Chain A
């Protein structure tokens, strides 16, 4: 130790070994360590603030109705009372199945439309491509309630109210701009030469897409799909307005515990926990893929 840091040796000689090691790295090292510590603390604080409502929801789900509205105490006896009540009142699996079918269905449909669209925009751009992309994104700036009445009337006339097909169509249209935009950026990152080499090798456009484009941008396509599933799963406005029972997904399931006889916080929390649990687990399992996809171009 003394040999390694001869200049600081006299000052550090009296310190215990651990501190000696720290001091040996100099003032710069210490500052850096402090900065890291504060950053970590900040990150944890923000994470906790964001996570707190979810934690509170999960905790409330295990309380009785009385405990739920009482002044919060740190300790309480957990009970499954609310879960039993929720389970007795509604068929969770029915709603969950609708959620799965609609979010996965709309995502597959959006990818099916989005991949060819993004392909043409990324590899065969015209002067209008940039404008088209912006225009598509601009549809997301319109508040959905603005088109609620026309869509409701169209759906009523087509007999698509309260059908999974109807909701799938709406979700597909809702996510299509984001899906195309994301796919476009992933496709843009793919060197054009590779597709041209494929063309020289005799690939048709379809073969080019299936054998080269999709395998090479799979991480990007996967994260686009995952985001689309999550957005569809959490969507409430259209599902509440266009479905009632047959095609109602989990968002409608939560909502059904909020109004009729007043607010039942514990039951609402229990229902919400059950509604978000699948997508939370799904997100947790796929987070590596998500992060990889979202930083696809940046780290290449």
Chain B
């Protein structure tokens, strides 16, 4: 059992407020990802949880106990650093067993625990090597092994994959997900890579400027972003934003005037709008479709062919719109094309950048990674 609660946690360095009152609940065995642009305070928040920084105010609670004044080693946490932070003068075995050695665990018991962790991570043949004789991926696994050996109640990961090359990153991502299943532990993971967040998290915490913008499952953030920032940050390529006006807004839907002059009804609640308000329409590139009868028109500036898909960058007035099309669309640069979108996949943001609530919830919005597992289990049986 390991739950973590943050209550109004703040952190200031001198006059700079880095964390501005964060409330957060991490449930037992949950994989929580902190994501946000650099400088958003996600690493600082993790270091506060680890005990490497102290919170300026607010409470940290693990399993019902306030731990603000408990030292890093006594919180029952283990951390994997971005730089791996292996002890260069020790062998892999000594690296992994260091915490046990400090805790006064006997040599034999230590050896056994280290071997067990090494087995999980397939590090057994490397136990006698020094870190400098290991590859990046191996070092990363040793760093994880060092955390496993401590048998922590919560694992903390600080951008652990950012020093690896792309192929290895994908592989380690899968391995971490597998590890989460195998260890059945609570994990908190910091990254700036939204793909890592989307693929691994049960719950994503989007941070910006020291403030939590939204907390939710990956599908919730994707389908129901709370504001323009989350909408733009989650999803790749980025969501397109178009300035529109709303001549008619009711609780049953909002009618908007698109840049070309055509009108379209978006199924979101316009209760709090006055008619004529300036709004922003957000549509993900994958929800735009080439359509000769579509309401929008643009000129192709750049074409990126990925094989299975093609990214089209379209010039529309002053905006550059990204459209994900089929792999084999025949279009060329400078061609004028018409396109449209599915209204219920569109988002509307008011003048403050807040999303207008959708009238219907996406069926997968509440899905967690654990639910994926349950589903495959049923199918397999």
Within residues 168 to 191 of chain A, which ones have a CB less than 8 A from any CB in chain B?
A: 191
Query: Is the Cβ of A202 less than 8 Å from the Cβ of B99?
Result: yes
Within residues 66 to 102 of chain B, which ones have a CB less than 8 A from any CB in chain A?
A: 72-74, 77-79, 81-83, 85-89, 98-99, 102
Query: Is the Cβ of B88 less than 8 Å from the Cβ of A216?
Result: yes
Q: Is B40 an interface residue (CB 8 A)?
A: no
Q: Is A193 an interface residue (CB 8 A)?
A: yes
Residue in contact with A200 in the complex, picked from B72, B86, B87, B103, CB distance below 8 Å: B72
Inter-chain contacts of B88 with A (CB < 8 A): 194, 216
Q: Is A207 an interface residue (CB 8 A)?
A: yes
Interface size class on chain A is 10 to 19
B51 CB to nearest A CB, Å: 8
Interface size class on chain B is 20 to 34
Query: Is the Cβ of A193 less than 8 Å from the Cβ of B81?
Result: yes
Q: Is B146 an interface residue (CB 8 A)?
A: yes
A194–B86 alpha-carbon span in the complex (Å): 6
A193–B318 alpha-carbon span in the complex (Å): 46
Q: A202-B103, A207-B102 are in contact. Are A197 and B81 (CB under 8 A)?
A: yes
Q: Is B11 an interface residue (CB 8 A)?
A: no
| Residue ID in chain A nearest B96 by CB atoms | A201
Give 1 or 0 for each of A200-238: 1 = CB within 8 Å of chain B CB.
111100010001100110000000000000000000000
Q: Is B32 an interface residue (CB 8 A)?
A: no
| Residue ID in chain B nearest A195 by CB atoms | B85
Q: Is B228 an interface residue (CB 8 A)?
A: no
B102 CB to nearest A CB, Å: 5
Residue in contact with B72 in the complex, picked from A191, A194, A199, A207, CB distance below 8 Å: A199
Residue in contact with B52 in the complex, picked from A196, A203, A211, CB distance below 8 Å: A196
Q: Is B50 an interface residue (CB 8 A)?
A: yes
A201–B110 alpha-carbon span in the complex (Å): 14
Q: A215-B89, A216-B88 are in contact. Are A191 and B83 (CB under 8 A)?
A: yes
Q: Is B150 an interface residue (CB 8 A)?
A: yes
Q: A196-B52, A197-B87, A215-B89 are in contact. Are A203 and B81 (CB under 8 A)?
A: no
A74–B78 alpha-carbon span in the complex (Å): 74
A296–B98 alpha-carbon span in the complex (Å): 26
Main secondary structure of the interface of A (DSSP, over half): helix
B148 CB to nearest A CB, Å: 13
Query: Is the Cβ of B89 less than 8 Å from the Cβ of A216?
Result: yes
Query: Is the Cβ of A203 less than 8 Å from the Cβ of B102?
Result: yes
Inter-chain contacts of A202 with B (CB < 8 A): 73-74, 99, 102-103
Q: Is A24 an interface residue (CB 8 A)?
A: no
Query: Is the Cβ of A197 less than 8 Å from the Cβ of B79?
Result: yes
Within residues 37 to 79 of chain B, which ones have a CB less than 8 A from any CB in chain A?
A: 50-52, 72-74, 77-79
Inter-chain contacts of B98 with A (CB < 8 A): 198, 201, 211
Inter-chain contacts of A216 with B (CB < 8 A): 87-89
A193–B74 alpha-carbon span in the complex (Å): 18
A202–B83 alpha-carbon span in the complex (Å): 19
| Residue ID in chain A nearest B47 by CB atoms | A196
Query: Is the Cβ of A196 less than 8 Å from the Cβ of B102?
Result: no
Inter-chain contacts of A215 with B (CB < 8 A): 89
Q: A207-B102, A216-B89 are in contact. Are A200 and B83 (CB under 8 A)?
A: no
A172–B200 alpha-carbon span in the complex (Å): 57
A215–B130 alpha-carbon span in the complex (Å): 14
A203–B85 alpha-carbon span in the complex (Å): 14
| Residue ID in chain A nearest B84 by CB atoms | A193
A183 CB to nearest B CB, Å: 18
Q: A197-B79, A199-B73 are in contact. Are A212 and B103 (CB under 8 A)?
A: no
A177–B376 alpha-carbon span in the complex (Å): 67
Within residues 220 to 265 of chain A, which ones have a CB less than 8 A from any CB in chain B?
A: none
| Residue ID in chain A nearest B102 by CB atoms | A202
Residue in contact with A196 in the complex, picked from B74, B78, B85, B89, CB distance below 8 Å: B85
Query: Is the Cβ of B150 less than 8 Å from the Cβ of A201?
Result: yes
Query: Is the Cβ of A194 less than 8 Å from the Cβ of B52?
Result: no
A215–B89 alpha-carbon span in the complex (Å): 7
Q: A201-B146, A202-B102 are in contact. Are A212 and B85 (CB under 8 A)?
A: no
Residue in contact with B78 in the complex, picked from A194, A200, A203, A211, CB distance below 8 Å: A200
Closest 4 CB pairs of A and B: A202-B73, A193-B85, A201-B99, A197-B85
New A-B pairs, 6, CB < 8 Å, besides A193-B85, A200-B72:
A197-B146, A198-B87, A200-B77, A202-B73, A202-B103, A216-B88
CB<8 Å pairs between A and B, sample of 9: A193-B83, A196-B79, A197-B85, A197-B86, A197-B87, A197-B146, A200-B77, A203-B73, A211-B98
